[in-house]
Structure 1
Amino acid sequence: MGNGVDIIYEPIRIRAHHILCMQGFQGLGYSEEFTVNMAQIIEEIRKNPFSLIKIIVGVDSICEHCPHNNSPGICNKESELNNISDMDSKVLEKLNIKKGSIVSSSLIPTLAMNLSRQTVKKICGNCSWKNSCLYFQDKMF
């Protein structure tokens, strides 16, 4: 037994559709706290391209500071017309990733860019942020 300390890094929890949102994020969000948190997570992932990302369906590390996360772990926007979890499921299906998969953060941009224009329109077409999302705009035009 050594005197060393074992360091365990928990993967960053990212809901599947946020893989796409992170590509087009430009500092807008539901609140200042949400926006700052999302910017910090994106920056952390970009600075550490080999950090681990756990792809989930449901409230993630980005959602932690969202005003719609009033009940810890439950998104109050889930009941809207464009069900947020459905967006997550579509992304998982189109990227052929299983819920709970752990991937290197360096793969995130590649995964997002591999989706076709038609797929992005199907996933993001009802999103309230699509008109200010650089990823969506780039894919559509």
Structure 2
Amino acid sequence: MTFAEKVKEARLAMNLSQTELSQLTGISERSLYTYEQLGTIPRSGNIKKIAEALRVSVTYLMDDGETDKTKHIEQDQFIDDVKQEFGSKGAREAKEILSRTGALLAGGELDDEAKEVFFQSLMEVYLDSKQAAREKFTPKKYRKHRSKSR
């Protein structure tokens, strides 16, 4: 299914009109119409708002082959948190790690619960190591400046 089809299906499954979805997301009805009816792909910020309002993952909306609506919600949140804390480069690194690790585990002997525990641990280790690197390699004068602006 395409992005447009998934948005419309998820919206209807929640018994929402385009007007109601517009109110939930802050996206104009006209824009929502173009996303659903014309297949226009929105900016990433709007994709995130739509995914959150419809309680589906961004990955589900953007990957035509993805059929599980909620499978990647935690990973999407993790990537968003990393982006907030470490910027776009950190988010790209985190996506790459999750992607490579997912490929490593594909078709393996682990059940879904064990894979989830593994991914949670991996995400925690990544955040801890990024924070440790920031503390070790960022000059103190810049660390203080960054912490004041937060």
Report TM bin, short chain: under 0.3
- For the pair shown, the structure with the greater C-alpha radius of gyration is 2
Q: Highest relative contact order (Cα 8 Å, sep 6+), 1 or 2? A: 1
TM-score (norm 1): 0.25
Answer 1 or 2: which has greater helix percent.
2
